[in-house]
Amino acid sequence: MDTINFKELQKLNDSEFMVIMGLLLDDDSYESTIDSMNYAFKKSGLIRETDKVIKLIFVSGNIEGEKGRHDWIIEFSKGTQINPLKRLLFDDIKWISDFIVNSKLDYEYN
């Protein structure tokens, strides 16, 4: 699985990436988790039927290490249109820009 550090998050944008906070995930459940996300996001209207989650990227550098919260970047297919009002249905999913501001104290920033 891919990883990204907190500083690299600033290169990402809100239109193709979001963050899911506190997701415990292992290699065996990776593909089924993406399938479940695609189903739930389309069913709720968060993304269109033609859009999809293509990858999850682990955010490394939590100051509490393995005991800290496990956050993941959700990467969507190019051109995905995220419905901002439907995003509110998912409390644990944040815009990249909000996550950077609100979670910077939880991560090593170097």
Say yes or no to pLDDT of 58 above 60: yes
The domain locations on the chain are 2-106
Q: What is the mean pLDDT of residues 29-46?
A: 95
Q: What is the mean pLDDT of residues 11-22?
A: 90
pLDDT at site 1: 78
State percent of the chain over pLDDT 90: 70
On whether the 2-106 domain is CATH 3.40.50, my answer is no
Say yes or no to pLDDT of 23 above 80: yes
| Stronger pLDDT, 110 or 77, i.e. the higher one | 77
pLDDT at site 110: 54
HEC letters along the chain: CEEEECHHHHHCCCCCEEEECCCCCCHHHHHHHHHHHHHHHHHHCCCCCCCCEEEEEEEECECCHHHCCCCEEEEECCCCCCCHHHHCCCCCEEEHHHHHHHHHHHECCC
